[in-house]
């Protein structure tokens, strides 16, 4: 069985004491690749160092997280770094996506204009560089749907495409159908699907398997039975097993389909001995 964790922050300080052991545990659990979204300048070095240490296994993204825009007078300089890195990637780095980008009004709605500007700019970079996006949304789904619809149409009009994954998807059937209408988007399902009172479990039952990718968002959103502890990429197997249970499928079927979805979206493939970018 081969799995892909499409959203792992394994480079964060929570793993300073055992990062290599966490990578080993993920491999042992059948995780064939880790996709690592960026946050902001403060974490770039840790992200790049981990990817350089495991170039056949860890695949970096670049982007500016919406909460890193909040109350940040230098957010436009942070945004400029994304384009700079896309034009001239750091040594040993090839980006598989633009992310983690999006909208987050949960902590504050005082920065909606700034977050929107940063988000739209990065969507347009994704269309320009023909890269998928990893989209974070919290307490902002109406605005998210509206922007994605508009930017998808803009990209099409320019002869380009917009595609990606809605990270930590937690909305209902209406939002799912609306976003599916925008085109080539997948939905990241993580640890919350394993919770006893999980709303996302019901929508997962009806989601076509070809729309799902697996993710942990480690060290956050830890699945049961480890909820309350630090999450890690090895636990993506628990998410796979839960989705299989909800859909009445074999875990191997879910693993094969979601891995193929991630490979196609992010442009990664495997040989028997290693992992490489197309």
Binding-site residue set for a divalent metal cation: 7, 9, 100, 136, 167, 217
Tokens 């996709």 -> residue: 35
Taking Cα atoms as reference points, which of 105, 34, 117 lies closest to residue 78? 117
Q: What's the token pair of residue 186? A: 């997948």
Residues 6+ apart with CB under 8 A from 109: none
Q: Is 73 exposed, middle or buried (0-12, 13-18, 19+ CB in 10 A)?
A: exposed
Taking Cα atoms as reference points, which of 59, 58, 11 lies closest to residue 39? 11
Tokens 């347009």 -> residue: 124
Instruction: Find the radius of gyration of the CA atoms of the chain.
Output: 17
Do residues 167 and 186 touch, judged by C-beta distance below 8 A?
no
What does DSSP assign to residue 15?
G
Q: Where are the alpha helices (DSSP H) in the chain?
A: 19-28, 41-53, 75-87, 112-129, 141-157, 173-180, 199-206, 236-247, 251-266
CA distance 32 to 8: 13
CA distance 84 to 275: 27
CA dist 168 → 54, 72, 213, 221 (Å): 25, 25, 10, 9
């Amino acid at each position: 069985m081969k799995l892909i964790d499409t959203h792992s922050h394994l480079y964060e300080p929570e793993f300073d004491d055992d990062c290599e052991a966490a990578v080993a545990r993920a491999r042992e659990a059948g995780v064939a690749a880790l996709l690592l979204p960026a946050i902001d300048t403060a974490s770039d070095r840790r992200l790049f160092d981990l990817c350089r240490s495991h170039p056949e296994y860890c695949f970096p993204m670049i982007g500016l997280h919406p909460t890193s825009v909040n109350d940040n007078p230098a957010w436009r300089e942070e945004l400029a770094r994304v384009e700079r890195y896309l034009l001239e990637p750091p040594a040993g780095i090839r980006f598989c996506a633009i992310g983690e980008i999006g909208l987050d009004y949960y902590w504050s709605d005082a920065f909606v204009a700034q977050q929107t500007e940063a988000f739209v700019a990065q969507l347009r970079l994704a269309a320009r560089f023909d890269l998928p996006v990893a989209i974070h949304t919290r307490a902002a789904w109406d605005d998210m749907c509206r922007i994605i619809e508009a930017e998808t149409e803009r990209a099409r009009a320019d002869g380009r495409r917009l595609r990606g994954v809605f990270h930590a998807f937690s909305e209902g059937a209406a939002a799912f159908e609306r976003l599916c209408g925008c085109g080539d988007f997948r939905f990241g399902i993580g640890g919350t699907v394993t919770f006893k009172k999980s709303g996302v479990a019901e929508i997962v039952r009806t989601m076509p398997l070809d729309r799902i990718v697996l993710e942990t968002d480690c060290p956050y959103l830890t699945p049961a039975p480890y909820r309350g502890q630090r999450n890690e990429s090895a636990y993506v197997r628990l998410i796979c097993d839960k989705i299989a249970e909800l859909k009445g499928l074999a875990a191997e079927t879910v693993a094969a389909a979601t891995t193929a979805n991630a490979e196609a979206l992010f442009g990664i493939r495997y040989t028997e001995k290693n992992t490489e970018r197309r």
